[in-house]
């Protein structure tokens, strides 16, 4: 994107204050600031690109409603979710006036002082929307006006922003049951943007997913394979992987409560799957089956070359009332301690040295950075560590990742940045922040004479561009 | 307190050395340095204030005997606890000469280099007692003399220090069985200091407490409710909470090995309580009953509005010989890893969004800062995270708290500082250190242009004063 | 060693960039840079010193083949271990051309950017071998030539390097079954170097060790005690400890998966030992017996005064294929989370306050630094915390150790530095790096006015020299 420095987004923001280090950080940053964005993992809806005239709606629709980072903070201080326009599942009345919602948000915006959301929002206003005014209760409506005006301009259609953001490739996340119709539409449209699907089979492989039976039927339908038993289930999944690959996918993505992986015999797998189809699977069945299916997915990845991503360790829907009222992904997911050394043992022994296999591992438990993840990635050829995720996608979180993981596993066993967001308009500022973290980290190594400026520039380029492209086979 | 900078307590001490950041830190600090002290959680004996002529005794009585931070360090290097004047339970002879004890302490004072105790002690000598001389084996007796002289002056009576320290409110910690007679005496005396009790029922709700049966009898007596079964136990506790409230209490405090919380049925609770009364409760009974009583206490807090504090995760009396010889709280308590996401699930689902309920959670396991506590507090309206406790109440511990908790949960889901001390004369320097940590952290955000100076000043004020006052309903 | 600063090893490298802090760090560093090296824990083969003409072989033999830090990183990026000259157990062909191996290493040397291995290797080339040229694919052969030439010089024989490195004492690690013949030879040679053995009985006390029965027979042979049952096993071990002591040993070293320690009755121990002799021990037997033998070893240390070291928490041979092909210690060992508070309870209660007993504890789980290790060491007189080990022996790892352990347990409950290496020629630069970390940490305390320069100098000296000498009774 074209950078335009300003009072609220000065070029040297965020870097450590030591003048010598800051100068080096700036020098490194200038070499990577305008590199194209590789976005190998995210949650933007492909519809956004399928329709060339797609509009984001109001500023509230763009910035508040889809962003659980935003509304969870307000909720934590007693602001009812209803007052933020979040739709309840049963349609109970909620605040619908976007200006009123925006005002509430602005009234509480001070809560974000020092947080990544605070940084992203200000940077987004300044760099994407040319808004320099500080967001306060007083300026709320004026900023709303300015945003509304911008969002009405043709330059703020998603495809135009894709170009302005200088995105080289952006992947979406799509259920195994997706027909990929939006992706087909994008392809057929002749537009040059590169939007690729990612295969996410959680809703069919985790047999304790709500409405799992329904999802299996959808899988049968979309794959053309009648899923009646375990063998046909596997066949249907292979069919979908193939369909995703043909649509350009290079990766899969897997969420699991635990990263436990362990093969069952065909017979055991068939027995559990049968119980699941009959609605008789136990909690233990579900856990074993997920562990088994992760192994199966690794086996398929070693075959078809789709890069495998695993995101474990979230206690989903911790707040049951919020989950019941609003559905999943509404800010009530909480991390748990996660073990990798033992849990990955079976998988890494079977596939960890397979040349065609890449596993990108994420964590919500940063205590494993230096104890488990860096030692594992510093040994197994197939393993790379994904960037700090969710609650760790912050200045300190990313800096710690470099100091705890990259210091011993090396930079090259990591995979660059993921924006991992539904908030499309925030993508460039998220990448920008990550590039700044890395340049700041490298500048510290340079000023302490750990590495020289030449190596630092190579490493900055790798972190900003090369590593993501290579690891995700883009 | 009136700050008087000096060679051993220069105004800019502790701040990071970058000149630009230090300047901002100083600027912020000057705005909060003289704010009144809110002391919402501590262990000063209310007797100290009940008697207007209370004297602290010798320098050794003031500084060494009551401070397990001090004598555990000396013990760890082979200094016998007897030689420090600590009284054994059975009255075995101990060193009794306060000057000799003070000399031993001074001989080993170098052990505290770089530790928080080292910082507090020097600051206390300089700022509370006007002693600039460095404590060394050579200067020990001279400093003792100076301290002794000061302690004899009327200005060093506890009530006078309360005023000089600019304390606005100070809470003590009192067992459920306390008659609160000292508090009544303070009230009756007409003195304007605000000393409030805090309700701590551990010794009656944890049925494995030594002498539990005795405590239950004391509870019957003080409450006037004959505790014969579970229902009357609950009634007696409610009576005490009410009595504490009437004496000005705004909070309760709970220690538990684990933060597990889980309701039993009335019948199960009654059965365990019955076994406990008959001296037949099992280890499992005790664990379940504590988990249940924490839920009960939360229920009562949601009713009566007393703010609930939980401090889990200490393996008390790890050194059994020391415990047997000297009793509890003698430096032999050691933290254990603690889990919150699952353990708080039941409680937060039941009370975590109740408007009248506030839970302030502490930890001895800082690995949960970013993984569990910040994500929980950044969502549930009733939850706030207490300041770094015990082994983490240090420059680095407090700084990490800000970087791991406040970065994602925001400053406003934390509650300011607790001095949490028996060492009354150290209170102002403990608050001063905490204010410095926060101003230093905020100055770093300002100099990196994450926040502006205006917001930083608001946040510094909140951290130093507003948050504690609001969270504890003072 | 004689320091000779140069472009690639400037005197002020690694220190934090703040000019004031760096100046103080340098001042402190200059006072300790030339202190003799105390090397109380390492893995250099005593043969190296037994033979006065011992030669290290080629540069590849010196730097790549023995260093699993080096080859695990290359392996992690897909370089086959065979191409690095690592010998397979079955003698399958491997690359044997040292120049070709060196070239491969140089081609991938960029992977080490910012890692401790990268820092050590550059410092070693510059300070030990006077090589200033940066190691790149292009300079690989020129550097190889220079190294080869140096290694041919008499000044690069191990005994000469010992003197040049200014080593005061260096300990090796020797199995309980060692005859200590090399040590005897060194003694007999009249050379003044002080090379001492360390007693490491893992292979006989961990009954699940591969070839355990064979090791027990070797123990019988070397001790002259016929190990037929548990009592004679204990007797043989005591004999060996005595033999080690007579050869100058001052310490023992113990690896264990878990630091669990727990005494069995004589009868239980005998029963398990009997099953082990008959090849019938279970997994549970092995775990219990290890826990028991750690207690036994503590008991013996309290008797004979050998300092006890425990290194728990490594999942050895995680990559089974690598282990099967190359044997142990080939880069496939991965840490696991480790618990100390409960696991050390029995041992510390029994021996933790014994005046003749010292336990030096290491960890691969730095989450225990502030939560468990510092609180334990800050209380028990017999416990000291060993320096950051293995994956934590890095700039950030060592700095964190100071900030998490020494801040609350004090510097004096730690034991200085261990080089812990097979790579003899890297020893001086490893100590140099550790001294820099400590001086940098102390300079930060000075510049923030936490301690004064006088105390900092005392502490720097202790960290660099006194603490290791005292803790290991050297």
Strand residues in C205-271 grouped as ranges (E):
251-256
Give percent above pLDDT 70 in chain C: 99
What pLDDT is stored for residue A5 in this prediction? 73
Integer Cα distance of B375 and A393 in angstroms: 13
Position B156 confidence tier, pLDDT thresholds 50, 70, 90: very high
**Residues B390/C374, Cβ–Cβ less than 8 Å:** no
**Residues B416/B431, Cβ–Cβ less than 8 Å:** no
What pLDDT is stored for residue C4 in this prediction? 66
Integer Cα distance of C307 and B326 in angstroms: 29
Integer Cα distance of C71 and C330 in angstroms: 8
Q: Which of A18, A21, A341 to mutate to test the interface with C (most CBs of C within 10 A)?
A: A341
Question: Inter-chain contact A319–B377, Cβ cutoff 8 Å?
Answer: no
- Report pLDDT digits (tens) over B325-348: 999 999 999 999 999 999 999 999
- Report pLDDT digits (tens) over A277-327: 999 999 999 999 999 999 999 999 999 999 999 999 999 999 999 999 999
Question: Inter-chain contact A114–B408, Cβ cutoff 8 Å?
Answer: no
Integer Cα distance of C309 and C255 in angstroms: 9
Question: Inter-chain contact C412–B337, Cβ cutoff 8 Å?
Answer: no
**Residues C429/C450, Cβ–Cβ less than 8 Å:** no
Give me B44's structure tokens. Answer: 């000063």
Contacts A–C by Cβ distance under 8 A: 128
**Residues C314/C259, Cβ–Cβ less than 8 Å:** no
Integer Cα distance of A338 and A349 in angstroms: 19
Position B4 confidence tier, pLDDT thresholds 50, 70, 90: low
What pLDDT is stored for residue C317 in this prediction? 96
For each of the domains in chain C, give its residue range(s) and CATH number, in order of start.
Answer: 19-54+158-471 (3.20.20.140), 55-156 (1.10.2020.10)
**Residues C284/C336, Cβ–Cβ less than 8 Å:** no
What pLDDT is stored for residue C457 in this prediction? 98
Integer Cα distance of C285 and C288 in angstroms: 5
Radius of gyration over every alpha carbon of chain A, rounded to an integer in angstroms: 23
Q: Are strands B359-361 and B307-312 parallel, antiparallel or unpaired?
A: parallel
Contacts of B452 in chain A (CB under 8 A): 134
Tokens 């889980």 belong to B262
- Report pLDDT digits (tens) over C416-471: 999 999 999 999 999 999 999 999 999 999 999 999 999 999 999 999 999 999 99
**Residues B288/B262, Cβ–Cβ less than 8 Å:** yes
Predicted confidence (pLDDT) at residue C57 exceeds the cutoff of 90 = yes
Give the N- to C-terminal CA distance of chain C in Å, as an integer.
Answer: 20
Integer Cα distance of C406 and C400 in angstroms: 9
Buried b (16+ CB within 10 A) or exposed e, C352-375: bbbeebbbbbbbbbbbbbbbbbbb
Integer Cα distance of A137 and A102 in angstroms: 10
- Report pLDDT digits (tens) over B364-422: 999 999 999 999 999 999 999 999 999 999 999 999 999 999 999 999 999 999 999 99
- Report pLDDT digits (tens) over A199-235: 999 999 999 998 999 999 999 999 999 999 999 999 9
- Report pLDDT digits (tens) over C60-102: 999 999 999 999 999 999 999 999 999 999 988 889 999 999 9
Position A93 confidence tier, pLDDT thresholds 50, 70, 90: confident
Integer Cα distance of C311 and C389 in angstroms: 9
- Report pLDDT digits (tens) over B296-307: 999 999 999 999
**Residues B25/B15, Cβ–Cβ less than 8 Å:** yes
- Average pLDDT value for residue range C341-356: 97
Dihedral (C-alpha) C131, C136, C141, C143: value to the nearest 10 degrees?
Answer: 10
- Average pLDDT value for residue range C41-61: 96
Predicted confidence (pLDDT) at residue B468 exceeds the cutoff of 70 = yes
Contacts of A5 in chain B (CB under 8 A): none
Q: Which of B25, B347, B375 to mutate to test the interface with A (most CBs of A within 10 A)?
A: B375
Give me B394's structure tokens. Answer: 């240090």
Tokens 């069945």 belong to A285
- Average pLDDT value for residue range C226-249: 98
- B342, B380, B408: residue with CB nearest A336: B342
How close is the nearest chain A Cα to the Cα of B409, in Å?
Answer: 7
Model ipTM?
A: 0.97
What pLDDT is stored for residue C8 in this prediction? 78
A395: closest chain B residue by CA: B407
Contacts of A459 in chain C (CB under 8 A): 113-114
Cross-strand partners of B195: B170
Predicted confidence (pLDDT) at residue B311 exceeds the cutoff of 60 = yes
Give me B19's structure tokens. Answer: 């000149």
Cross-strand partners of A388: none
- Report pLDDT digits (tens) over C169-226: 999 999 999 999 999 999 999 999 999 999 999 999 999 998 999 999 999 999 999 9
Integer Cα distance of B86 and B329 in angstroms: 12
What pLDDT is stored for residue B8 in this prediction? 79
Tokens 């020494």 belong to C406
What pLDDT is stored for residue A4 in this prediction? 66
Question: Inter-chain contact A334–B375, Cβ cutoff 8 Å?
Answer: yes
Half-sphere exposure of B303 (CA within 13 A, CB side): 10
Integer Cα distance of C206 and C287 in angstroms: 8
- Average pLDDT value for residue range B449-463: 98
- Report pLDDT digits (tens) over A33-71: 999 999 999 999 999 999 999 999 999 999 999 999 999
Radius of gyration over every alpha carbon of chain C, rounded to an integer in angstroms: 23
What pLDDT is stored for residue C3 in this prediction? 60
Position C1 confidence tier, pLDDT thresholds 50, 70, 90: low
- C77, C112, C334: residue with CB nearest A381: C77
Average pLDDT of chain B, as a whole number: 96
**Residues A37/A427, Cβ–Cβ less than 8 Å:** yes
Predicted confidence (pLDDT) at residue A166 exceeds the cutoff of 90 = yes
Question: Inter-chain contact C396–A404, Cβ cutoff 8 Å?
Answer: yes
C368: closest chain B residue by CA: B337
What pLDDT is stored for residue A438 in this prediction? 98
Contacts B–C by Cβ distance under 8 A: 128
| Burial classification of residue A239, based on how many CB atoms lie within 10 Å of its CB (0-12 exposed, 13-18 middle, 19 or more buried) | middle
Tokens 């911008």 belong to A150
Q: Which of C353, C354, C370 to mutate to test the interface with B (most CBs of B within 10 A)?
A: C370
- C77, C321, C364: residue with CB nearest A412: C77
- Report pLDDT digits (tens) over B71-112: 999 999 999 999 999 999 998 888 999 999 999 999 999 999
Question: Inter-chain contact A315–B342, Cβ cutoff 8 Å?
Answer: yes
Q: Which of A76, A78, A84 to mutate to test the interface with B (most CBs of B within 10 A)?
A: A76
- Average pLDDT value for residue range A112-129: 97
Predicted confidence (pLDDT) at residue C238 exceeds the cutoff of 60 = yes
Q: Whole-model pTM above 0.90? A: yes
Cα A468 to chain centroid, rounded: 13
Of B206, C29, C360, C364, give the one whose Cα is nearest residue A372: C364
Q: What is the DSSP letter of C366?
A: T
What pLDDT is stored for residue C460 in this prediction? 98
Contacts of A358 in chain C (CB under 8 A): none
Predicted confidence (pLDDT) at residue C370 exceeds the cutoff of 70 = yes
Integer Cα distance of B16 and B441 in angstroms: 9
Strand residues in C313-451 grouped as ranges (E):
314-315, 334-335, 359-361, 383-385
Question: Inter-chain contact C397–A370, Cβ cutoff 8 Å?
Answer: yes
Average pLDDT of chain A, as a whole number: 96
Contacts from C50-53 at CB under 8 Å and sequence distance 24+? C50/C182, C50/C183, C50/C185, C50/C186, C50/C189, C52/C157, C52/C159, C52/C189, C52/C191, C53/C157
Predicted confidence (pLDDT) at residue B5 exceeds the cutoff of 80 = no
Tell me if residue A19 falls in helix, strand or coil: helix
What pLDDT is stored for residue C400 in this prediction? 98
3-state secondary structure chain B: CCCCCCCCCCCCCCCCCCHHHHHHHHHHHHHHCCCCEEECCCCCCCHHHHCCCCCCCCHHHHHCCCCHHHHHHHHHCCCCHHHHCCCCCCCCCCCCCHHHHHHHHHHCHHHHCCCHHHHHHHHHHHHHCCCCCCCCCCCHHHHHHHHHHHHHCHHHCHHHHHHHCCEEEEECCEECCCCCHHHHHHHHHCCCCCEECCEECHHHHCCCCCCHHHHHHHHHHHHCCCCCCHHHHHHHHHHHHHHHHHCCCCEEEEEECCCCCCCCCHHHHHHHHHHHHCCCCCHHHHHHHHHHHHHHHHHHHHHHCCEEEEEECEECCCCHHHHHHHCCCCCCCEECCCCCCCCCHHHHHHHCCCCCCCEEECCCCCCHHHHHHHHHHCCCCCEEECCCCHHHCCHHHHHHHHHHHHHHHCHHHECCCCCCCCCHHHHHHHHHHHHHHHHHHHHHHHHCCCCCHHHHHHHHHHHHHHHHHHHCCC
CB C261: neighbour CB atoms within 10 A? 24
Least confident range of A331-335, B372-376, C1-5, C130-134: C1-5
Question: Inter-chain contact A318–B410, Cβ cutoff 8 Å?
Answer: no
How close is the nearest chain C Cα to the Cα of A332, in Å?
Answer: 26
CB B354: neighbour CB atoms within 10 A? 16
- Report pLDDT digits (tens) over B178-224: 999 999 999 999 999 999 999 999 999 999 998 999 999 999 999 99
Position A3 confidence tier, pLDDT thresholds 50, 70, 90: low
What pLDDT is stored for residue B462 in this prediction? 98
């Amino acid at each position: 994107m074209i950078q335009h420095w300003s009072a609220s987004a000065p070029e040297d923001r965020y870097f450590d204050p030591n003048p010598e280090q800051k100068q080096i950080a700036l020098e490194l940053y200038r070499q990577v600031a305008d590199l194209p964005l590789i976005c190998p993992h995210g949650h933007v809806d492909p519809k956004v690109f399928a329709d060339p005239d797609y509009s984001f709606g109001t500023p509230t629709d763009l910035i508040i409603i889809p962003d659980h980072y935003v509304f969870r903070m307000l909720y934590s201080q007693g602001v009812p979710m209803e007052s933020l326009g979040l739709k309840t599942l049963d349609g109970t009345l909620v605040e619908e006036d976007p200006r009123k919602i925006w005002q509430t948000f602005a009234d509480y915006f001070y809560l974000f002082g020092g947080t990544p959301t605070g940084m992203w929002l200000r940077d987004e206003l300044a760099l994407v929307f040319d808004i320099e005014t500080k967001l306060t209760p007083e300026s709320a409506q004026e900023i709303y006006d300015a945003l509304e005006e911008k969002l009405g301009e043709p330059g703020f259609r998603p495809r135009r922003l894709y170009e302005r953001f200088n995105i080289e490739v952006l992947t979406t996340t799509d259920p195994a049951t997706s027909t990929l119709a939006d992706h087909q539409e994008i392809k057929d449209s002749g537009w040059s943007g590169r939007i690729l699907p990612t295969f996410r089979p959680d809703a069919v492989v985790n047999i304790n997913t709500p409405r799992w039976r329904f999802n299996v039927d959808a899988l049968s339908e979309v794959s053309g394979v009648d899923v009646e038993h375990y063998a046909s289930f596997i066949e249907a999944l292979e069919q979908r992987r193939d369909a995703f690959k043909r649509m350009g996918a290079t990766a899969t993505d897997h969420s699991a409560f635990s990263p436990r992986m362990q093969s069952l015999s065909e017979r055991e797998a068939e027995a559990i799957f049968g119980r699941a189809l009959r609605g008789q699977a136990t909690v233990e069945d579900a856990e074993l089956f997920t562990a088994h299916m992760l192994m199966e997915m690794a086996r398929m990845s070693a075959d078809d070359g789709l890069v495998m991503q695993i995101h474990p360790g979230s206690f989903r829907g911790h707040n049951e009332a919020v989950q019941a009222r609003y559905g999943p992904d509404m800010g009530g997911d909480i991390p748990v301690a996660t073990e990798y050394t033992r849990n990955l043992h079976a998988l890494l022994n079977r596939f960890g040295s397979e040349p065609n296999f890449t596993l990108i591992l994420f964590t919500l438990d940063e205590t494993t950075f230096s104890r488990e993840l860096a030692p594992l990635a510093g040994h197994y050829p197939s393993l790379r560590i994904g960037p700090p995720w969710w609650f760790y996608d912050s200045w300190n979180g990313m800096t710690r990742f470099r100091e705890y993981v990259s210091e011993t596993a090396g930079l090259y066993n990591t995979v660059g940045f993921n924006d991992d967001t539904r908030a499309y308009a925030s993508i460039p500022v998220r990448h920008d922040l990550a590039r700044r973290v890395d340049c700041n980290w490298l500048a510290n190594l340079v000023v302490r004479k750990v590495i020289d400026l030449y190596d630092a520039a190579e490493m900055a380029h790798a972190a900003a561009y090369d590593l993501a492209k290579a690891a995700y086979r883009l």
